[in-house]
Amino acid sequence: MNFELTISPINEIDSDVELIVIVNKNFKHDFVQDKKLLKKSGFKAGQDETCLLISKNRLYVGVDKINDENLRVAMAKAIQALSATKYKSLKVASYMKNKKSNATLRAMVEGFILGAYAFDTYKTEKAKQAIKDIVISLEEYNALELNMEDCATEVELGQITAEATNFTREIVNTTPEDCYPKILANIAEGLSDELDLSCKILKPKELREEKMEALLAVARASRHTPRVIHLTHKPKNPKAVISLVGKGLTYDSGGLSLKPGASMVNMKLDKSGACAVLGIMKAVSEMNLEVEVHGFIGAVENMIGGDAYKPDDVLVAKNGKTIEVRNTDAEGRLVLADVLAYAQQEVEADYIFDYATLTGASMVAVGQYTSSIMGNADKPRDMIVDAAKASGELATKLDFNKHLRKCLKSNVADISNMSNTPYGGAITAGIFLDNFIDKKNKNKWAHIDIAAPAYVEHAWGENPVGGSGAGVRMTIKLLEKLAAKS
């Protein structure tokens, strides 16, 4: 999808179709062209409502009011409304909160690209996205007050962000037969070939040398050997050093504590944290942000078999702590325990964020659309919550407490991998991870449970069914903010 910015008035632009945004409360005014026709079609200019007037080559979309969030989703719905048409080019005016703010441009571009995404790898008939060229006119807002270069930057940032999100979605959607640990490592190596990122891959031999026995135990029954991936973006004068850690369970059958059949469907989603880290690293490098970013991924498949790890096993994690396995389906925390320890050994970071489809309990707690943000300190958690809000993602804080900490006590080892209560499962999983955060890093770390929004079962907002790319946009926003610090 190509974008062009112009100061030409919208009427002078040559394109197949024009997209017009109507703010709901303005629909009654006479300046709305085609009002009679729109009314006749039942159009009410509600948020995300579209109406295509094919004889006029005009598509209308309603918004409640002009802001990033509304425009992003409206553009996604608009582009979807055109997916079956033969239109190839589209023109649209800019819709800004005021004459000097160009921020909504980025949201609009993100909406177009996110909305146009379709996963068709396994379809014999491929989805065709008709619209290839989009021209955005700045004329309405008196181009003289807007700096064209700044506007072009907003468009570019929107493109990088949305394309990174789609990149993440695509990997999440890929089947476990086609995307196993080695493939995640290949994708990371591909990024480092293409971009200015360095990449280190740890195979089983190195994982044993690094004493990542918890991760190795989870991986043991799979015919696909595990990998730990370390991607690095290292600019000359970084404003901060950040480590990102992703859960990359390319399939989670539950292991011997086997998931019921219905719960196993879609468990290719369990690599979403890892895929988010890959997408973020791609964007960080393309934006050339002035922050040093390390992406760590634990890539493992959790299967059953004669060699499977078992409930009752005691594992020794990389940091020396012993873990009683009470449920092999609580495997993500075992993998992350080792990868978090490895990340802290390798890099002294200012902040550490981990991304994981860690618990079904997170979905129960906060609903399908929201990520749960945990940790010991408010600062890194607030950074994530604020960045999520600014990026169009939903995130909310869940607090640890001393009572829930006790629920992970084990009679035979230092800690159990399962809580002794069925309540607060997202938080007890977060507390488990906290046991693998070094003392000096306690307040630098936040855990992001993306189990709820990572995989969409019924399309919502700008997300089609399947991987959503949760975590990507919020983190890009956060890193941009850190990079902008003087």
Question: Which residue ranges make up the site for ligand BES (CB under 6 A)?
Answer: 252, 269-270, 327, 329-332, 357, 359-361, 418, 425, 451
Q: Beta 50-53 vs 58-63: how paired, if at all?
A: antiparallel
- Total residues contacting Zn ion (rule CB under 5 A)? 6
Residue among 327 and 396 whose Cβ is closer to ligand BES: 327
Q: Which helix (H) or strand (E) holds 22?
A: strand 17-23
- Could you tell me the smallest distance in angstroms from the CB atom of residue 388 to ligand BES? 19
Residues in region 309-368 near Zn ion by CB under 5 A: 329, 331-332
Interaction of residue 449 with Zn ion, rule CB under 5 A: no
Residue among 342 and 455 whose Cβ is closer to Zn ion: 455
360 makes contact, choosing from Zn ion, ligand BES, none, with CB < 5 to 8 Å by partner type, with: ligand BES
* C-alpha to C-alpha distance for 430 and 371, rounded to whole angstroms: 13
Residue among 3 and 251 whose Cβ is closer to ligand BES: 251
* Strand ranges inside 139-218, DSSP E: 198-202
What CA–CA distances, in Å, run from 85 to 9, 16, 54, 82, 89? 25, 11, 10, 5, 11
Q: Which of 72, 333, 444, 473 is catalytic?
A: 333
* C-alpha to C-alpha distance for 54 and 16, rounded to whole angstroms: 11
Interaction of residue 462 with Zn ion, rule CB under 5 A: no
Tokens encoding 437:
């955060």
Q: Are 248 and 273 in contact (CB under 8 A)?
A: yes
Question: Known catalytic residue: 220?
Answer: no
The backbone torsions φ and ψ at residue 151, rounded to the nearest 5 degrees and listed phi first, read -65, -40
Question: Which span sits near Zn ion by CB under 5 A: 110-118, 191-199, 242-250, 390-398?
Answer: 242-250
Interaction of residue 249 with Zn ion, rule CB under 5 A: yes
Interaction of residue 425 with Zn ion, rule CB under 5 A: no
Torsion (CA) 217, 223, 225, 231 in degrees, nearest 10: -120
- Could you tell me the smallest distance in angstroms from the CB atom of residue 218 to Zn ion? 9
CA 34 to chain centre: 39
Question: Which residue's Cβ has the minimum distance to ligand BES?
Answer: 360
**Which listed residue (48, 68, 252, 462) binds Zn ion by CB under 5 A?**
252
* C-alpha to C-alpha distance for 83 and 17, rounded to whole angstroms: 13
- Could you tell me the smallest distance in angstroms from the CB atom of residue 450 to ligand BES? 9
Rg of the Cα atoms in the chain:
24
Interaction of residue 270 with Zn ion, rule CB under 5 A: yes
Question: Known catalytic residue: 77?
Answer: no
User: Sign (positive/negative) of CA torsion 412, 416, 422, 423?
Assistant: positive
Q: Are 71 and 104 in contact (CB under 8 A)?
A: yes
Residue among 364 and 459 whose Cβ is closer to ligand BES: 364
Residues in region 104-163 near Zn ion by CB under 5 A: none
Q: Which of 259, 389, 405, 481 is catalytic?
A: 259
Q: Which residues are catalytic?
A: 259, 333
By the criterion CB under 5 A, which residues form the site for Zn ion? 249, 252, 270, 329, 331-332
